[in-house]
Amino acid sequence: MTDTTAPPEQAKPTVADLPYMEFLRTLDGYEELAIEQTFGRDIDSLGFGLQLRALVFVSRLRGKVEASAARREVMGMTVRQIFNEYPDLSDPADPKTDETPEPAAGDSDAAAAE
């Protein structure tokens, strides 16, 4: 008797697993179509910033997040948050994070001094 069970699906890498260009090379056709449907252009037509967002979007899809929720998440992320998703693009020496509290309304002098 022949075994007809499919082999277990191997998890695809996320943007945290690979450098930017390596992750880009892991896209399959369905993911490219999802990018085009979500961002209105193919991956090669997107500017660098939107390419980074698009790849984080795919990473979220691979993590089983619904496309609409993944789009909302990545479009709401700051540039720093997007860069920090990529181990080869994030700056570990940068002590600033998006969790840094904003200065209070009356502290405009302190903010200007930075």
For the chain, the structural domain boundaries read 20-92
Average pLDDT over residues 89-93: 70
Q: How far apart, in whole angstroms, are the C-alpha atoms of residue 51 and residue 24?
A: 9
Instruction: Please count the helices (runs of H) and the strands (runs of E) in the chain.
Output: 6, 0
User: pLDDT of 62-82, one tens digit each?
Assistant: 999 999 999 999 999 999 999
Burial class (CB in 10 A: 0-12, 13-18, 19+), 114: exposed
Of the listed ranges 1-5, 75-79, 102-106, the least confidently predicted one is 102-106
Q: How far apart, in whole angstroms, are the C-alpha atoms of residue 41 and residue 32?
A: 10
Contacts by residues 30-33 (CB-CB < 8 Å, ≥ 24 positions apart): 31/58, 31/61
The reply to whether the predicted model has a pTM over 0.75 is: no
